[in-house]
Amino acid sequence: MSDKFNISDFLSDDGPENQYQEQLKRIQAAENQTECIEDAVNGALGNLSDGTQKSFVIYGEPQSGKTEMMICLTAKLLDEGYRFIIHLLNDSVDLLGQNMSRFHSSGIAPSAQNFAEILDPSVDVKNGKHIVFCKKNGSDLRKLINKIGKMNNVIVIDDEADYATPNSKVNKGDKTPINDLIEQIIGNTGHYIGVTATPARLNLNNTLNNDSNIWVKFPPHRMYTGQDDFFPMNIEEIGVSGLNYQLKLMSTRNDDGSEERSALFRFMVNVAHLNMSSEREQNYAFLVHTSGKKIDHRKNLDVFRNIFSALSDKSGKKFAKYIEEIWNIADNRYKDISATNLTKYIISNISRNAIMVLNSEPDFKKVGGNATNPSSLFTIVIGGNIVSRGVTFNNLLGMFFTRDVKNKLQQDTYIQRARMFGSRGKYLRHFELTIPTPLFMDWHRCFVYHRLAFDSIESGLGSPVWIADKKIAAVSSASIDRSTVDLDKGEMSFPIFDYDPRINEVANDVKEPAEIVDALAALIGAGFPQYLQTFLRHSIARKTVGLKLFPSGNVFPKMSPLEKERIERRRGFLTIRDSDRVGNTIHFLRVFRNEAGKARLFYKFDGSVSFIKNLK
């Protein structure tokens, strides 16, 4: 069969087709599920289907595989005809390199480019398809804008969207430079898709007018280990011994490096046990996050260098002492392999170590080291602020976390610092978190609030509700758009429902708090949201606080007709007296009804918790 050259055969070729399906096949070939990715991609494309400009968020859990989702989303957007897709990410060269490497290895076409690659005048951005990565700093964004001009139908996918993008000057009638520059890129025809595990700031800030009614959930994959594993709601019931991983709580923190040394020894024992129990030896990482200050990272570096030096010097003064500490840890922790053999494994491999600092100081970094994929048997990563955002640590087997704050923990920041989340199932039992007890309890509460907030999103009952207290802030106060956000100090109301007189029977006859919650939920359904039920059950399970359901009340006579119809009142409905607080009762519920037979549930927390909601 003869084959003749015909130029028309090539003019119609506009690149690969069905890239989205090819990306799904690639992931499935690695025996990974794609249902969660498909859910998110379908939701995003559904938002864009009517052709109008959109600004929304794809939200999920920390370390849940969002990079693969963004690769597949990009492929689908290319299939649908979008030709210029910009990926924004934190101002970090490490993160830029990690993400671009993932895109390149996926085989997606065109190949992803750093924005600097398209600045050359010879690069024509008006034709063809482009995937461009750009860090979120003013200089880079301005250069990108100068190159592309006012481009129509650009897609902006903003990784870690709640970082740097929100407008912290929202209450001053001004815009922060990065917020303003991103808005310029989007223009009047582009679309904004924020991607994050902590979307509270985007909602409370009204960032780029994103619409929480069309937010898209990116569910975690089957192998994901996250807050249910590391911060289960029932931890007070199951205790530390009931956890699926090893938790080492510290009552105090010494400055002599002894806690770091003990944590390192436990990590090395766990590495030894894993490798001696497996057919194939692997390298593992130990993450140290104690501070955001570079001078503290230098101190950490010296501590670990000195430990490895002592373990390498058999004639040194500390060698015997350290070896005995390791032997005792191994003896107490594992019985299937002798402590002597585990200790021998560690000592014979002690030179296979790497220590690196992951912060903005390049001189600290070990040349040729790879913090995210451990290149040595015992890889120690000392982290700065960069570890709080986006960086994934493969084979992470230990974490020494002591970074606390003097005032309030910012919930979104501490959610992101849970670098141990991810695909840890194969070695979760060997993973150890070392942390001061008070910090762990605050961190646990952050995740309880985080879960309840996500439940409020998924309830479909309007704008999400974010929870804060005296120790934990939902987001930075400067980022909250106070023109639309209600900083509710305790009273919440929920959707209207048809009044049922049996509610008073529950109020008068049922005494046990848990039974009150169950009975009320059965009577009013969606009028008593699941996330509030979960919050109440979690609180009263400790049996140290009480809950009271008041008999139903009528709307107040002096309310306006519209207020009576809506059962809404600016001054609120619930009044709590000292006599109501008997028995440390802090949760108060009451149903108010109007003459039309409609009713609304009101809840007041007589404590330190605030419920924050965007009323826009």
If DSSP states are collapsed to H, E and C, what string results for 306-337?
HHHHHHHCCCCCCHHHHHHHHHHHHHHHCCCC
Which helix (H) or strand (E) is 599 found in, with range? strand 598-605
Q: Residue 56 phi/psi, 5° resolution?
A: -150, 180
Give CA–CA dist 346/271, Å, rounded. 9
Would you state the pLDDT for residue 486? 67
Would you state the pLDDT for residue 144? 97
Report for 253-257, 332-336, 357-361: range of highest mean pLDDT: 332-336
- If you average pLDDT over residues 93-97, what whole number do you get? 78
Would you state the pLDDT for residue 368? 38
Give CA–CA dist 218/197, Å, rounded. 9
**How many structural domains comprise the chain?**
3
Q: What is the extent of the structural domain holding 605?
A: 484-614
Would you state the pLDDT for residue 220? 93
- Spatial CB neighbours of 9, under 8 Å, sequence gap ≥ 6: none
Per residue in 446-501, pLDDT (tens digit) is 998 888 888 878 766 667 888 888 888 989 888 999 888 766 555 778 889 999 99
Report DSSP letters for 458-487, one per residue: HTTSSS-EEEE-SSEESS-GGGS-TTTEEE
Per residue in 174-215, pLDDT (tens digit) is 999 999 999 999 999 999 999 999 999 999 999 999 999 999
pTM of the predicted protein model: 0.86
Residue 464 lies in a domain: no
In one letter, which amino acid is 206?
N
Boundary of a domain, candidates 416, 446, 476: 446
Helix and strand element counts for the chain (H, E): 20, 24
Residues 29 and 76 both lie in one domain: yes
Instruction: Select the more confidently predicted residue: 266 or 98.
Output: 266
Residues 328 and 201 both lie in one domain: no
Give CA–CA dist 413/31, Å, rounded. 32
* CA Rg value for the chain: 27
Residues 151 and 233 both lie in one domain: no
Residues 354 and 249 both lie in one domain: yes
- Spatial CB neighbours of 414, under 8 Å, sequence gap ≥ 6: 442, 443, 446
Give CA–CA dist 385/365, Å, rounded. 15
- If you average pLDDT over residues 498-505, what whole number do you get? 96
- If you average pLDDT over residues 146-171, what whole number do you get? 95
The CATH number of whichever domain residue 289 belongs to comes to: 3.40.50
Per residue in 405-454, pLDDT (tens digit) is 777 888 988 898 888 898 898 899 999 999 999 999 999 989 988 888 88
Residues 289 and 384 both lie in one domain: yes
Q: H-type helices in 459-586, by residue range?
A: 502-509, 513-524, 530-540, 561-566
The label of the residue with tokens 């070939």 reads 29
Give CA–CA dist 419/279, Å, rounded. 27
Q: Range with the lowest mean pLDDT among 48-57, 221-230, 472-481, 529-538? A: 529-538
Residues 231 and 193 both lie in one domain: no
Per-residue pLDDT at 143 exceeds 80: yes
- If you average pLDDT over residues 97-119, what whole number do you get? 94
Boundary of a domain, candidates 446, 466, 493: 446
- If you average pLDDT over residues 75-100, what whole number do you get? 91
Give CA–CA dist 212/384, Å, rounded. 32
C-beta separation of 126 from 80 below 8 A: no
Beta bridge partner(s), residue 266:
none
Residue 451 lies in a domain: no
- If you average pLDDT over residues 589-604, what whole number do you get? 94
C-beta separation of 551 from 504 below 8 A: yes
Would you state the pLDDT for residue 291? 80
- Mapping DSSP onto H, E and C, the string for 240-299 reads HHHCCCEEEEECCCCCCCHHHHHHHHHHHHHHHHHHHCCCCCCCEEEEEECCCCHHHHHH
Residues 285 and 390 both lie in one domain: yes
C-beta separation of 379 from 399 below 8 A: no
Residue 309 lies in a domain: yes
Residues 156 and 24 both lie in one domain: yes
Give CA–CA dist 314/296, Å, rounded. 29
The label of the residue with tokens 């109008």 reads 52
- If you average pLDDT over residues 89-93, what whole number do you get? 83
Residue 577 lies in a domain: yes
Per-residue pLDDT at 253 exceeds 80: no
Residue 176 lies in a domain: yes
Residue 5 lies in a domain: no
Report for 47-51, 461-465, 590-594: range of highest mean pLDDT: 590-594
Give CA–CA dist 341/330, Å, rounded. 9
Would you state the pLDDT for residue 1? 58
Residue 9 lies in a domain: no
Whole-Å CA distances, 9 to 2, 19, 546: 15, 21, 77
Give CA–CA dist 22/114, Å, rounded. 24
Mean pLDDT estimate for the chain: 90
Beta bridge partner(s), residue 399:
287, 433
Residues 319 and 395 both lie in one domain: yes
C-beta separation of 193 from 60 below 8 A: no
Residues 201 and 240 both lie in one domain: no
C-beta separation of 271 from 455 below 8 A: no
Boundary of a domain, candidates 395, 430, 446: 446
The CATH number of whichever domain residue 138 belongs to comes to: 3.40.50.300
C-beta separation of 453 from 391 below 8 A: no
Per-residue pLDDT at 163 exceeds 80: yes
Would you state the pLDDT for residue 120? 93
Residue 580 lies in a domain: yes
The number of residues making up the chain comes to 616
Give CA–CA dist 36/550, Å, rounded. 43
- If you average pLDDT over residues 377-403, what whole number do you get? 84
C-beta separation of 453 from 472 below 8 A: no
> Residue 441, exposed/middle/buried by CB under 10 A (0-12, 13-18, 19+)?
middle
Would you state the pLDDT for residue 36? 97
Give CA–CA dist 443/411, Å, rounded. 8
Cα distance between the two ends of the chain? 68
Give CA–CA dist 379/382, Å, rounded. 10
Reported as half-sphere exposure (CB side, CA atoms, 13 A), residue 552 has a value of 22
Give CA–CA dist 48/199, Å, rounded. 20
Would you state the pLDDT for residue 365? 47
DSSP state for residue 220 in the 8-state scheme: P
Would you state the pLDDT for residue 396? 94
Residues 527 and 384 both lie in one domain: no
Per residue in 525-583, pLDDT (tens digit) is 989 988 789 889 888 887 889 999 999 999 999 999 999 999 987 677 888 889 999 98
Per residue in 346-381, pLDDT (tens digit) is 999 999 999 988 775 654 444 335 667 898 999 999
Which helix (H) or strand (E) is 141 found in, with range? helix 138-148
Residues 175 and 251 both lie in one domain: no
Tokens found for residue 222: 């089957």
